A = this chain, B = another copy of it.
Amino acid sequence: MATKKTVKPLLGPRDERTLGQLTGLADGVVAAADKKRDPHMDIPTRALSNVRYNQSKKILEMGANTTRRQLFNLSQAKSFMQTMLVASGTKQLIDQGKTTSIRGLFYLLKHTIEGTREETFADQSECDPVIEDTEVLLGSLREEMHLYAQKRGDMVGQLVLTDQGDEIDCSRMGSGGYGIPSIVEPETIRFKKCDARFVLHVEKDTVWQRFNEDKFWRKHKCILTHGGGQPSRGVRRLLYRLHNELKLPVYCLLDNDPWGYYIYSVIKQGSINLAYESRRMAIPGARFLGLRSKDFERCKLSDSVKINLSDTDRRRAKQIANYPWFAKKKPWQVEIKRMLANGFKLEVEALISKDISYVTEEYAPARLKEKDWLD
């Protein structure tokens, strides 16, 4: 079917750059063929062994190891061709000025190879690692390859931005908020006016609703976001941009449990599985505002709100305590040890037992005033 282009895509400098890399990749294959050499590519190795914590930049980084993928190698031919296929699909998306999900790209590329019964991809799980390979190969974020992830999270606060030219005043978004897009690159999202002094990122939409209903962001001149649990790529990238471009401190209000620690760790240092994204997603300066293991006593909570730690919780807590960015920080060791000693975890919602708005009127303001957070 012929592609109908209703909008002539404008290629920004970033698309030009990604296209250049895609073309370079293809040119490399052609050049090798011309010289009668075996076409190959050297893909940075995406394995734990090739991930290291950069102490000075304070983010996770990939090491220098690469894995060679050759066309004329029986065990590598298929993945070589799959990588070229993903690259060509990406080029098609950029050429058309369109974006899709990784599921969409899978369907776009999945077909039976002519004259055979061989499928290009058996299923999504075969396509996903090739997409990640292509990301590291091109040194591009997935979003630059016009691929979007699941959309999750909302934002309100003292910020005016434009999203594809539409002006969005985040201080006039009612109870619903602005739904954070999956792709928040500067080509789409531009910050126009910011009266915020910081960003408060909370774990759950239910907590976000409490802060928004109490108009915390107006009183404290801030931006309020949530990620619906583990924040999506769009949320992480947006926090990164707010922190780096607008120089806003980012405070995280998460549950006092290993999952809350882990969410903070991903926001701050990046994800171990996708270490190559850290340099454009991780926020080493992000601060952990709470909940803290000492809050049960500090806030005089009742026994009713305790949730016993499971064996999995204890194991996860010990793993997290050993992460290199926590291992050498005494306050974090104290924090995690105390949770283990407590034997229970605490949800942010537990503060409601004090008062519905205790978290917005007492807890968060006090921590911010006392500068009492973990780094």
Contact = CB atoms under 8 A, between A and B. Distances in A.
A192 to B, nearest CB: 12
B163 A167 contact: no
A6 interface: yes
A165 B174 contact: yes
B181 A175 contact: yes
A107 B353 contact: yes
Interface in A316-375: 347, 349-358, 361-362
B181 A179 contact: no
A352 B100 contact: yes
Contacts of A297: none
Contact-size category for A: 35 or more
Given A3-B355, A180-B176, A210 B110 contact: no
A112 interface: yes
Given A110-B304, A353-B107, A214 B151 contact: no
A163 B174 contact: yes
A354 B357 CA distance: 52
B173 A163 contact: yes
A188 B174 contact: yes
Contacts of A98: 213, 356-357
Contacts of A354: 1
Q: 8 nearest interchain CB pairs? A: A163-B174, A101-B206, A179-B179, A154-B179, A176-B181, A151-B205, A166-B174, A107-B352
9 contacts: A1-B355, A1-B362, A3-B356, A96-B356, A110-B305, A151-B209, A165-B174, A176-B180, A182-B205
Given A163-B175, A168-B176, 15 more contacts: A4-B357, A107-B351, A111-B353, A112-B303, A112-B304, A150-B206, A151-B176, A164-B175, A168-B172, A168-B173, A174-B188, A176-B180, A179-B179, A181-B209, A182-B205
